[in-house]
Amino acid sequence: MAQNLYGPRVRMGNWNEDIYLEEENMKDFLEKRDKGQLLIQKSRRLKNNLLRPMQLSVSQDGYIHYGDKVMLVNPHYSETEVGVSLSGDLSLCMTPDEVQAHLSDELELPCGLSAVPTKIPVSRNTFIIFSDSLDTDATGQVLWYGQYFCLGITGGFENKMLFLSSDHRTLLKSSKKSWLQEVYLTDEVSYRNCWQAALPDPQLRLEHEGLPVPANAKILINHCHTNRGLAVHRHLFLSTYFGKEVEVVAHTYLDSHKVEKPKNHWMLVTRNPRNDASTMLDLPKPPVEDTRAVEQAMGLNE
């Protein structure tokens, strides 16, 4: 007659090795946790750095200066060429690789960019205006139309400066969705970092060469090496570490009158001097000066 010789307390297999293995795994886990080397800890540190609150510069004279901390914002406009698009004011943001962001607390270079509907200045969307030679003596000088400048960003990291760059499109190097000329962030200082500001109105563009660039006003930002304008694709969505955002490229879009489309319009947004926590975008729009004339034009006051 078959008889069960094993009771519930009998251990089978490599039970001793399994116990030691569990103890080693727990010891390794606790050691990594104490040193902050767990993947979840690295990911949280990266997110905290990128989302660290920042304070923009205040423009005392209404113009942009070297050394100013600003947000690059594409103003809201109605997108009629496509069906689904992202509305509102979109700010230019640094966007780390989605997979790499979960594995390390450091930024992988070159780092990507995207546009996000936010008005809150944080580390990932606050840029610093530099001269093309990165000369610190130029700090405080007014930026002019047609003058070369660089856009730097720290991303919340100390002793690190990345520059907005672009280069000609190749088969192996282009934007993810539209396959146009990509823009990226790199720590390499070169001619690829240089940009120019231009007036959106082509009839007055030459007359404004050498004049100060106003803050919180629509301008064009053109790449000096490739002569392509910084543009936003509100209809091309990217899956990023922070969620769904839209693509940013270097490409000039012209309408039938050879005028740059709103995709190429940008504002260098500064801080509201009355409130440290807000930007000039939060100010209410001024009322219409002649309300009666507007009502008559719309047929509301007949």
Question: Does residue 209 lie in a domain region?
Answer: yes
Q: Which pLDDT value is given to residue 74?
A: 96
The CATH number that applies at residue 270 is: 2.80.10.50
Quick one: which of 254, 243, 273 has its CA closest to 116? 243
Q: Which pLDDT value is given to residue 291?
A: 47
Do residues 285 and 98 lie in contact, with contact meaning Cβ atoms separated by under 8 Å? no
Question: Does residue 278 lie in a domain region?
Answer: yes
Question: Does residue 293 lie in a domain region?
Answer: no
To the nearest 10°, report the CA torsion of 118, 201, 256, 77. 20
Q: Which pLDDT value is given to residue 302?
A: 44
Tokens, residue 99: 């997979």
Split into its structural domains, the chain has a count of 1
Question: Does residue 111 lie in a domain region?
Answer: yes
CA distances (Å), origin 35, targets 24, 105, 190: 17, 13, 37
Strands 195-198 and 218-223: antiparallel
Question: Does residue 288 lie in a domain region?
Answer: no
CA distances (Å), origin 196, targets 6, 65, 79, 210, 228: 82, 14, 26, 11, 10
Q: Which pLDDT value is given to residue 299?
A: 53
Query: Residue 117 sits in which domain range?
Result: 51-282
Question: Does residue 107 lie in a domain region?
Answer: yes
Residue 139: how many CA atoms within 13 Å on its side-chain side? 8
Integer distance in angstroms from the first to the last C-alpha of the chain? 109
Q: Which pLDDT value is given to residue 202?
A: 92
Question: Does residue 260 lie in a domain region?
Answer: yes
Q: Which pLDDT value is given to residue 294?
A: 45
CA angle 175, 262, 195 (to 5 degrees): 60
Q: List the pLDDT tens digit at each of the 302 positions of the chain.
A: 556 666 667 666 777 788 888 888 888 888 888 888 788 888 888 888 899 999 999 999 999 999 999 999 999 988 777 778 888 999 999 999 888 877 887 888 899 999 999 889 999 999 999 998 877 778 889 999 999 999 999 988 888 899 999 999 998 899 999 999 999 999 999 999 999 999 999 999 999 999 999 999 999 999 999 999 999 999 999 999 899 999 999 999 999 999 999 999 999 999 988 876 678 887 776 654 444 554 455 454 44
Q: Which pLDDT value is given to residue 290?
A: 47
Predicted structure pTM score: 0.83
Question: Does residue 294 lie in a domain region?
Answer: no
